[in-house]
A and B are shown apart, each in its own frame.
Chain A
Amino acid sequence: MAILKLLLSYLSIHPSPLRNPSTTLHLSQQAPAFLSSSESTKDTQETWLIYEQLLLSCLRTGDDNSARLCLQRLSDRFGVDSARVKALTGLYDEATSNSRGELESVLQRYQDILKEDPTNMPIEKRRISLLLSLGRTEDAIKALTSLLSHSPNDAESWAHLSSLYFTQGLYQQSIFCLEEVLLILPNAYNIFARIGEVTYISASTGGNSTNQTEAFEEAIKYFARSVELSEWYLRGWYGLKLITRKLIQGKPSDGTLGKMESLNQLATEKLVQIVSKFRRNEKGWMGFDESEVLAAKDLIDQDEQKFAR
């Protein structure tokens, strides 16, 4: 009973173990023990969920032997023709291939699968990310738009397309895709904050100052919505503070100054609270990303210096 429970509780505390290397390492180190334990033969939903997570973690840490064993058992259980297993097999092949030629052959295999079954979503997604990985961004965007034209309610794909457009500097398109995500998931506060970020970035890189002020005000609305939906969303508060500070510095002539100042103050209070609780290792406040907390601290410190001067 022990290790299965251990892994499940670990996954419930760290829902996305791939995000930082230490949690991935921890998970993949448990893999050999789990695979050789008697619990690994249980046929429950949780077991297979753990198999998938372990496979991804092991592939990332380079523990290919455990990864192969996980994949073997998954394909024994669900069959090699299952779409999900096929995608995982492809992932394994991508991870273990050493040369560009091998990757091209994996890509060819994806294309063959898609020729037989053009709506195999997991494989289509693999093909798109492999195209990206090979540096063929334009092809990847084209493939992704065609995926979205046959399944427009896949939020993950919209979010990915948005990030691709963003890397190409196409901010308007990027925002459009994020708005599509919001149509599917109206409560996705991180997407609201992301729209705020993209609006802010696109306004900072170009455009004249009146347009810029307008765009900043637009971004504030998105950040405000994101913290309205999640009261401790660090990135939302950070963006809110950053932009209101900029607008206050620009000394707006109309009546918005007071509003900006109160928003700025509120965001500062929240950020100070987050930073101090995180630094004191308070229970229930340890989920934040360390670099994000540091950035928030920098932002607060900048303000204090300005007042001290």
Chain B
Amino acid sequence: MASKALISLSTLLLIHSCYSAHEHSLLTPASTSNALPLDIVIETILSVLLLCLGIVLGNKEELKPISWSVWSGMLEREKGCGQFGYLEERVGFLDIRVKRAEFAKWVKGAEEGSS
């Protein structure tokens, strides 16, 4: 919620600063120096910083570890299948009849009721 408020506030500020800059360039005569007033500059930078902060705070997904080995180790211990598990499972070459027989055997060991 806080991040949404921050994002909308900083977006408004950013739009306002852009508008001010536009007006400033229209209203100052071409002969005088064309530098932007300090308050517009500050408003622009501040709004961009706040916008970044709001977006980062609004991230709801769990962050992944930066180190590859920590990340893949985490996948291994939590799910038992890393990002290369498909190289061992090889669904494209699935021998469905063997898998079916294997499953039937497993069911026989446990209980009937999946057919």
Question: What are the residues of chain B within 8 A of A188 when measuring CB–CB?
Answer: 84, 87
Q: Does B58 contact A (CB under 8 A)?
A: no
**A21-B102, A190-B88 as given contacts; A125 in contact with B93, CB under 8 Å:** yes
Q: Which residue of chain B has the shortest Cβ distance to A178 in the bound complex? A: B87
Is the interface on chain B under 10, 10 to 19, 20 to 34, or 35 or more residues? 35 or more
- A159–B79 touching, CB < 8 Å: no
- A128–B94 touching, CB < 8 Å: no
Nearest CB in chain A: distance from B5 CB, A: 27
- B68–A229 touching, CB < 8 Å: yes
Question: What are the residues of chain A within 8 A of B1 when measuring CB–CB?
Answer: none
Q: Does A101 contact B (CB under 8 A)?
A: no
- B72–A230 touching, CB < 8 Å: yes
- B103–A274 touching, CB < 8 Å: no
- 1/0 per position for A3-27, CB-CB distance to B under 8 A? 0000000000111101101001100
Q: Which of A60, A156, A284 contacts B87 (CB 8 A)?
A: A156
Q: Which of A19, A59, A194 contacts B100 (CB 8 A)?
A: A59
Binds B, one of A41-49, A112-120, A286-294: A286-294
Q: Which of A157, A159, A231, A233 contacts B70 (CB 8 A)?
A: A231
Give chain A's interface secondary structure class: helix
- 1/0 per position for B91-107, CB-CB distance to A under 8 A? 11111111110111011
- What CA separation (Å) do A185 and B91 show in the bound complex? 18
Question: What are the residues of chain A within 8 A of B88 when measuring CB–CB?
Answer: 159, 190, 194
**A56-B91, A59-B96, A229-B69 as given contacts; A21 in contact with B103, CB under 8 Å:** yes
Q: Does B39 contact A (CB under 8 A)?
A: no
Sample of 18 more A-B contacts, CB < 8 Å, known A63-B115, A230-B73, A289-B80: A16-B85, A18-B89, A21-B102, A56-B94, A59-B100, A62-B114, A62-B115, A129-B93, A157-B92, A160-B90, A187-B84, A190-B88, A191-B87, A228-B69, A233-B82, A274-B77, A284-B78, A287-B81
Give chain B's interface residues, CB within 8 Å of chain A.
68-70, 72-82, 84-100, 102-104, 106-107, 114-115
